[in-house]
Amino acid sequence: MKIIKELLDERGQRPIHSVGPDDTVFTAVTLMVDKNIGAVLVAEGENIKGIMTERDYLRFITTQGRTARDTPVRELMTKKVIYVTPDTELNEVMNIMTAERIRHVPVLHDGGLLGIVSIGDVVKQIGQDQEVHIRTLEEYINDPYPGPVANGAAG
C-alpha cells in the first residue's frame, strides 16, 4: 500500500491556500470558490490555527443574524486539526477520514506543511493502484510461460 509521500509526488505540488483567523468567512469562501477547493487552512504566520471547510460554511449559513462579511473565520473553524505524516499509508488515511468524518488532512513533516490531501486524492490514488495491480495479475494469469511441460517431461 502506498504512503502519502508517494501520493504527493505523483499528484504534484499544489499551493496550500490559507486565510487568517480574523479574515472574514466571506474571504475564506471566496478563496475556496476561486481555487475550486473544499477547505482552507487557517494560519497566523507559520502557526496553524485551524481548518475551515465547506461543511463549516453550510453549518454557518443556518445560523441566524450573522453574515459572512461580518463574521471572522475563527468562529467557524475547527481548532484541533488532525494531521497525517508523509509515511502514513493510504488505507490508514482512509480510516482516519472515515472515523473522524473529515475529507481533508494536512500533511505535516518536521513541523512544516507539505500539502493538504483530500478524500478525492486518496480515492483516486487507491483506484489507480488497484487498476495496476489487477492488470499485473491479469498479465500473470494470461502469461503462458512456463506453461505445462510437454510429454510429461517434468517429474
Which stretches of the chain bind ligand AMP, using CB under 6 A? Answer: 38-39, 51-56, 78, 81-82, 102-105
Q: Which is nearer to ligand AMP, 49 or 125 (CB)?
A: 49
Residue with the CB atom nearest ligand AMP in the bound state: 53
Minimal distance, residue 97 CB to ligand AMP, in Å:
8
Nearest-angstrom CA–CA distance, 37 and 74 = 19
Minimal distance, residue 19 CB to ligand AMP, in Å:
13
Minimal distance, residue 141 CB to ligand AMP, in Å:
39
> Residue 17: which of 26, 30, 5 has the closest Cα?
30
Report the run of H or E that residue 116 belongs to, with start and end. Answer: strand 112-118
Q: At what angle do helices 4-11 and 119-142 cross, to 10 degrees?
A: 90
